[in-house]
Amino acid sequence: MTERFDPPVTLRGERVLLRPFGLDDAEDYIAVLRAGEDWLPPNFPRDLDADKLAWWFETGVHQPQRLGLGVHLAVLDAASGALAGTIGLFRVDWAQLTCEVGYGLRPRWRGRGYATEALKLVVRWALHERGLYRVELRALTSNHASIRVAENAGFLREGRARGAERTPDGAHHDQVVFGLIANDLARDLPGAPEGAVAPPAPSSTA
């Protein structure tokens, strides 16, 4: 299934450009680390080690995509080319055609619609072009900004996962569970007739 996320992904929106991370992002990334910004995914490096960062930009960050397990994309400000954040798919299950999505933005780009636009681009790519059927999104019940992003991107609130996230202080917190399936997007396609549904999902053995 490694071909599922090939070729390299580039998605363009009005304000954001999504593409694989590369060495060109190192300067902005180092600035993020020095500023102690808190938006990085847990598996992203935080040490200011030049050799480790070079390996990560050239190889490490791309491993999930090469293995068909997920994808990490840089979110760039389309106007300036600056690194604005990241968005990615993880916990991909090709047998069930499902995955989760996560994202984080630098403080300067929050509250301006960048996250919503990036999320819409990734979800439509995953469900329409890569054959996935369901994308799940989870947010802490206290993370009102992330909840608004999910709702603005068309995700449906499905329930509450009690104690699903353990924070560094050792406490367990509830998450809001959102979902979006291919049929949901079909109703939003330009020119789609009322009651339209997405094409059947491809066989998981393809």
Query: Is residue 194, in this structure, part of any structural domain at all?
Result: no
Residue 146 · residue 177 · CB < 8 Å: no
pLDDT value at position 2? 45
Proportion of the chain above pLDDT 70, given as a percent: 88
Q: Exposed/middle/buried for 188, CB within 10 Å: 0-12, 13-18, 19+?
A: exposed
Rounded CA Rg of the chain: 17
191 pLDDT more than 60: no
pLDDT value at position 3? 52
Query: Is residue 30, in this structure, part of any structural domain at all?
Result: yes
Query: Is residue 67, in this structure, part of any structural domain at all?
Result: yes
DSSP code for 25: G
The number of domains in the chain is 1
Query: Is residue 201, in this structure, part of any structural domain at all?
Result: no
Domain span at 50: 2-186
Residue 122 · residue 89 · CB < 8 Å: yes
The lowest-confidence range among 129-138, 167-176, 180-189 is 180-189
Query: Is residue 69, in this structure, part of any structural domain at all?
Result: yes
Tens-place pLDDT, residues 3-52: 578 777 899 999 999 999 999 999 999 999 999 999 999 899 999 999 99
188 pLDDT more than 50: yes
157 pLDDT more than 50: yes
Residues 6+ apart with CB under 8 A from 160: 141, 174, 175, 176, 177
pLDDT value at position 195? 39
Higher pLDDT, 203 or 16: 16
| C-alpha to C-alpha distances, 43 to 64, 109, 178, nearest whole angstrom | 12, 22, 23
Query: Is residue 64, in this structure, part of any structural domain at all?
Result: yes
135 pLDDT more than 70: yes
Instruction: Give me the CATH number covering residue 156.
Output: 3.40.630.30
The whole-angstrom separation of Cα 110 and Cα 107 is 5
pLDDT value at position 34? 96
In terms of pTM, does the model score above 0.95? no
pLDDT value at position 194? 42
Q: How does the average pLDDT of the chain come out, rounded? A: 89
Proportion of the chain above pLDDT 90, given as a percent: 82
Angle at 176 between CA 76 and CA 114, to 5 degrees: 15
pLDDT value at position 162? 97
